[in-house]
Amino acid sequence: MSSAENSLEITHTHGDRVVVRSTATGTDLFSYVYKPDPDAFEARKPYVHPLRTLSGNLVSGYRPNDHRWHKGLQMTASHLSGQNFWGGNSYVHGEGYLPLHDRIGSMRHDGFDSVEAGTDELSFTERLTWIENGGSEWAHERRGVRVHAVDPESGSYAVDWSIELTNTRADGEALRFGSPTTAGREMAGYTGLQWRGPRDFTGGKVFGPQGDASDGELMGTQGPWLAFTGEHDDVDAHSTLVFEHAPENLDATRAVHASHWFVRSQPIPTVAFSWAFFEEFELPAGETFRYRYRIVVADGAWDEERVASRLKELAW
C-alpha cells in the first residue's frame, strides 16, 4: 500500500468540529463535533457523526426519532450520582423513564492539548469538564482520540478512544457510576462509550469470538471484542463495526470496574462498553480512572475469522 493510498486530510473548524477525510476515496470518514448542542435535555457533549466506511457508507445514526439524544459515537454516563450524562429521560425505579430536566448534566469542551495530523493518521488530546445540572464541576476528563490504520486492501480503519477521568467535586463526595440496571431495571445496563447505528442497521448481525449470537445472548456478557454487521439501504452493501477493549480493561488486577456489553440490534442498533452494567462503582474525590477502546470500521460483512485476523494485525 502506498502512502497515497493511505493519505488522510484533516480539517479543523475551530469551535465546531474536526473532520478526517480519505483522499484516496474522497470520503469524510470521521467528524468529531465538539460545538455545544442547542438542546440541554439531550445532555450536551462531543460526539462523532457522521462516521463512514472507506467506501463512504454511513455507519452512525444521529438524533433518531426514538432517542433524540443518541448521536453517533459518544462518551456517556447514564446514572452518575443522581445525574444523567446520557441524555433524555431518566430511569427511576418504580416509576419508569421520566423527563427529569433537572438531572441532565453536560460535558464542556475546554480545549485541545494537542492535535497531531500526519498523512496516515490523526490524533488529538482533549480537555473536558463534566458539569452537573446545577452548574457544579464534578470531573475533569482528558480524552484521547486517534484515527489510524487505514487499509484499502481490507476496506477498514481504526478509531482508538481513551478516557482519563478525575473526580474534582468540591464537596469531597465520591462519584457513583451506575445504569438503569443498577437502579432496578433488568438488562438495561447502558452507560459508557456508546455507538448508535443508522436506521438500516436495525436487525443486524451480532457476534463475538465464539461466533454468531443474538443480541439477547450477548447482552450483559463480557469479552475482548464484539462485532455488528448491517446491510445498507440504497446501496448493495454491508458494513461491519468491531468494538474492542484494550487488554487492561478486562484485566481484573488493573481494570477500574468489570465491563459488560450492552448490545441491541432490535428495536434499535446500538452497542455500549458498559462500565457499570450490574453493579455501581465509586470514584473517590481526587482519584482518577482510565479506559481504552478501539472501534474498527469496515466495508463488507465480516465474519469471526476476518475480525480476529484484523485485530491481531492491529495488536495494542
Which set of grid coordinates corresponds to residue 298?
A: 469496515
Work out the pLDDT band at 14, boundaries 50, 70, 90. very high
Work out the pLDDT band at 311, boundaries 50, 70, 90. very high
Per DSSP, what are the bridge partners of residue 180? none
**Residue 170 backbone dihedrals phi, psi, to 5 degrees:** -70, -25
Distance CA 228, CA 243 (A): 8
Task: Give the list of residues 6+ apart from residue 203 with CB closer than 8 angstroms, or none.
Answer: 265, 266, 269
Residue type, 109: H
pLDDT at position 254: 81
The helix (H) or strand (E) run that includes residue 246 is: none
pLDDT digits (tens, 9 = 90+) for 182-234: 999 999 999 999 999 999 999 999 999 988 888 889 999 999 999 999 999 99
To the nearest whole percent, how much of the chain has pLDDT over 70? 98
pLDDT at position 3: 40
Work out the pLDDT band at 4, boundaries 50, 70, 90. very low
What average pLDDT score do residues 158-167 get? Answer: 98
Cβ atoms of 91 and 183 closer than 8 Å: yes
Which set of grid coordinates corresponds to residue 93?
A: 425505579
pLDDT digits (tens, 9 = 90+) for 46-103: 999 999 999 999 999 999 999 999 999 999 999 999 999 999 999 999 999 999 999 9
Average pLDDT, the chain: 95
* Nearest residue to 237 via CA among 55, 83, 27: 55
Which set of grid coordinates corresponds to residue 191?
A: 452507560
To the nearest whole percent, how much of the chain has pLDDT over 90? 91
Is the model's pLDDT at 2 over the cut of 50?
Answer: no
Which set of grid coordinates corresponds to residue 79?
A: 446514572
pLDDT digits (tens, 9 = 90+) for 93-149: 999 999 999 999 999 999 999 999 988 999 999 999 999 999 999 999 999 999 999
Distance CA 76, CA 96 (A): 20
pLDDT digits (tens, 9 = 90+) for 266-283: 999 999 999 999 999 999
The residue with greater pLDDT, 253 or 21, is: 21
pTM, to two decimals: 0.96
* Burial (CB count <10 Å: 0-12, 13-18, 19+), residue 184: exposed
pLDDT at position 5: 55
* Nearest residue to 263 via CA among 229, 291, 301: 229
Pairing verdict, β 27-33 and 47-51: antiparallel
Angle at 230 between CA 224 and CA 231, to 5 degrees: 160
